[in-house]
């Protein structure tokens, strides 16, 4: 039987856990033409959430365009990625997709091919970086044209939006700001996998997108939602898990979706069909996962300075929020001074090893946190 716990990619359908409140908020944003930037730790399920929300909007009333900016490196690729996301939101059949792309983006020389699985692949024939000012203006105006033509509301999602910071200039940001301000009927959702960079884009007064969208922090999934989900997945696959064992999983992963699904995936594999996951299976599942990552974690640990290691160890050994610059933490962690702790935190933030968390920090990789704890306790 197929493992019911999914991780590592976009999670959808029955594998998607709860987020009912967040989905409702995104539906309201689409209904009201709101602009939001969603920020969170890495792997918190932002992409899965917005795709799930877009797919659950009534098709007759909404068009939901998902634009992945990860492959982009400048204005030209931003233009084609946006055009691709909008066109694909309106059709999935090759003939209709090409027709739609030509109607909306004929100036970008669109073409459609079919891959080995029979799926249409839309590409554009524009050349690489020359000034694409007119094309940028046109593609950003398209959501309004789509809304008018189809008499629908339009929601546009820009994923990995922090890539815009690497374009070499702020022309895309400035034009995007102008569009976001003027298009009242269009909802824009901005996501990014590097929280501190996304916050810089929208909270730094010197950036064009400063305060251009409302803030929507995305946190872990509460244990009360995980417990019935985990137990149901075990039960549906003819295995059992008690609420106590499921809660122990959530305590280890701190409710983080990626790490909770990953640990449950390993736990399910170790649990025999028709039996119940015993508490000791969690230890075995954790060992399996840490053994897989041991080389990577050791290499990463060796690349850190002594101060960074001490900061991470102090953070890993504490439960709940930690006052990392307090005299107690500095002394117990062997950091010497608060300024040493601040330097370590800044370096670890820059490497995405820790994330800010309501005035404190958390270790981004929950399994790395467990690895550090176990290493310290040996």
Radius of gyration of the chain (CA): 23
Looking at residue 307, its pLDDT comes to: 97
| HSE of 96, CA atoms in CB hemisphere, 13 A | 7
Q: Cβ contacts of residue 98 below 8 Å, gap of 6+?
A: 110, 111, 112, 120, 122
- Tokens standing for residue 34: 């709101």
Looking at residue 129, its pLDDT comes to: 57
- The H-assigned helical ranges of the chain are 20-32, 46-55, 75-88, 94-105, 133-150, 171-182, 195-203, 223-236, 243-253, 257-270, 279-302, 306-317, 327-333, 338-350, 366-377
Q: Cβ contacts of residue 260 below 8 Å, gap of 6+?
A: 221, 226, 230, 249, 250, 253
Looking at residue 181, its pLDDT comes to: 86
Cβ(212)–Cβ(177) below 8 Å: yes
Looking at residue 347, its pLDDT comes to: 97
- Tokens standing for residue 38: 């969603």
Q: Is 219 helix (H, G, I), strand (E, B) or coil?
A: coil
Find, among 216, 181, 175, the residue nearest to 199 by Cα: 216
State how far the Cα of 364 lies from the Cα of 368, in Å rounded to an integer.
8
Cβ of 290: how many Cβ atoms within 10 Å? 16
| pTM score | 0.89
State how far the Cα of 378 lies from the Cα of 375, in Å rounded to an integer.
5
Looking at residue 149, its pLDDT comes to: 84
For the chain, which ranges sit under pLDDT 70? 127-132, 378
- The residue written with tokens 């998902």 in the block is 66
Predicted confidence (pLDDT) per residue in 160-213, tens digit: 999 999 998 899 999 999 988 889 889 999 998 888 888 889 989 999 999 999
- Tokens standing for residue 144: 């309004």
Q: Is 361 helix (H, G, I), strand (E, B) or coil?
A: strand
Question: How far, in Å, are 50, 104, 268, 269 from residue 138 at the CA level?
Answer: 25, 9, 50, 51
State how far the Cα of 141 lies from the Cα of 283, in Å rounded to an integer.
54
């Amino acid at each position: 039987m197929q493992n019911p716990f999914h991780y590592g990619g976009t999670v959808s359908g029955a594998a998607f856990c709860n987020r009912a409140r967040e989905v409702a908020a995104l539906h309201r944003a689409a209904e009201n033409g709101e602009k939001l930037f969603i920020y969170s730790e890495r792997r918190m399920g932002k992409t899965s959430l917005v795709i799930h929300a877009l797919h659950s909007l009534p098709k007759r009333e909404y068009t939901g365009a998902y634009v992945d900016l990860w492959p982009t490196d400048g204005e030209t690729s931003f233009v084609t990625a946006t055009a691709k996301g909008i066109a694909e939101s309106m059709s999935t059949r090759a003939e209709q997709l090409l027709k739609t792309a030509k109607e909306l983006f004929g100036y970008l020389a669109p073409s459609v091919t079919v891959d080995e699985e029979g799926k249409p692949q839309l590409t554009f024939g524009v050349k690489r970086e020359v000034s694409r000012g007119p094309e940028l203006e046109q593609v950003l105006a398209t959501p309004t044209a789509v809304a008018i033509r189809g008499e629908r509301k339009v929601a546009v999602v820009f994923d990995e939006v922090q890539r815009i910071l690497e374009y070499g200039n702020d022309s895309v940001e400035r034009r995007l700001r102008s569009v976001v301000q003027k298009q009242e009927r269009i909802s824009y959702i901005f996501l990014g996998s590097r929280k501190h960079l996304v916050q810089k884009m929208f909270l730094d007064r010197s950036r064009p997108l400063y305060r251009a969208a409302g803030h929507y922090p995305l946190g872990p999934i509460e244990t009360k939602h995980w417990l019935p989900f985990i137990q149901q997945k075990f039960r549906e696959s003819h295995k059992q898990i008690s609420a106590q064992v499921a809660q122990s999983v959530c305590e280890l992963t701190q409710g983080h979706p990626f790490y909770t699904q990953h640990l449950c995936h390993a736990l399910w594999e170790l649990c025999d069909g028709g039996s119940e996951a015993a508490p000791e299976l969690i230890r075995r599942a954790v060992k399996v996962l840490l053994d897989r990552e041991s080389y990577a974690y050791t290499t990463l640990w060796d690349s850190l300075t002594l101060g960074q290691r001490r900061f991470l160890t102090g953070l890993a050994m504490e439960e709940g929020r930690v006052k990392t610059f307090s005299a107690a933490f500095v002394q117990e962690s062997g950091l010497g001074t608060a300024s040493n702790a601040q330097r370590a935190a800044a370096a670890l933030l820059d490497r995405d090893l820790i994330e800010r968390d309501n005035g404190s920090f958390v270790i981004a990789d929950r399994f790395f946190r467990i690895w550090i704890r176990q290493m310290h306790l040996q």
